[in-house]
Amino acid sequence: MASFNSIFSVVVALLATTFFCSYSANSNVPSVAVEQEAKALLQAGWWPHDVLNNSTPSPCNLSGITCNRLGSITHISLLHNSKVQKKLGRFLNSSSFPNLVHLDLAEAALVGSIPPEIGTLSKLTHLNLSNNNLTGNLSNLGVLNLSSNQINGRMPSTLGLLFNLTQMDISSNQVEGALPSSLTSLDQSVSLSLSSNELNGPLPSTLDQLTRLNTLSLSWNKISGKVPPELGNLSNSRP
């Protein structure tokens, strides 16, 4: 079980990578890159090897895989309710999947830690790892869903660096302590689901800065205070 602080321990480094490293995915995707993607899927073990090696000429034909017009993988959606426990490997990186924007591995019976390499996926905008048994760290995303895992510890102040985050769901974990004031830096957020944790203390006094917020779920915690009236009638906003 990893701490919530460790989840964002590499955020600054990951942001630096995003800003200062130019990506090589141009309008033309070299065939060698497509081959590397196929090898990475084979390494994942999420599909039978005989399917990847024989009956499927391209990973783009696999269920749950979407590619762009050049044959490079952009979406991976592992079939939910997998009966075989699998791990998130270090193949989930920018070298293996340079054009991946959507990764949905919810209810996939995944175990172990989230590899830091996943933070190098600089085109990734949607990540869903809910309802697994994971620990680990993350990166700068638009949608973050870590609900129903075993994440504990406090919410770090570096949370505010996820300035493009529009939706965050960390419900049903063991995150504890007070809400950091940096939470109000997530001014693009429209939905924050923090219910069923061990959060306590007062709501940040600057919560009214989240003017785009329309869903705030804080139930089943020990949070005190009232939601600022400036935010209007939020759904699921009971502390």
Task: State pLDDT tens for residues 45-84.
Answer: 777 666 665 544 578 888 889 999 988 999 998 765 555 5
Task: Copy the structure tokens of residue 45.
Answer: 């073990």
Whole-number pLDDT of residue 39: 83
Closest CA to 165 of 174, 175, 173, 155: 155
- Given a contact cutoff of 8 angstroms between Cβ atoms, the answer to whether 62 and 47 are in contact is yes
50 class by beta-carbon count within 10 Å (0-12 exposed, 13-18 middle, 19+ buried) = exposed
Task: State pLDDT tens for residues 191-220.
Answer: 999 999 999 998 888 888 898 999 999 999
Whole-number pLDDT of residue 75: 93
- Given a contact cutoff of 8 angstroms between Cβ atoms, the answer to whether 45 and 196 are in contact is no
Closest CA to 96 of 21, 157, 37, 15: 37
In the predicted model, what is the mean pLDDT of the chain?
Answer: 74
The domain limits of the chain are: 4-16+76-231
Whole-number pLDDT of residue 19: 28
Q: What span, in angstroms and rounded, lies between the C-alpha atoms of 217 and 236? A: 5
For the sheet containing 110-114, what is the strand order?
A: 86-87, 110-114, 133-136
Whole-number pLDDT of residue 212: 92
pLDDT mean for each 10 residues of the chain (239 residues): 46 32 37 80 72 62 88 84 63 85 82 74 77 63 76 76 83 90 88 93 88 91 85 71
Whole-number pLDDT of residue 10: 34
Domain 4-16+76-231 class in CATH: alpha beta
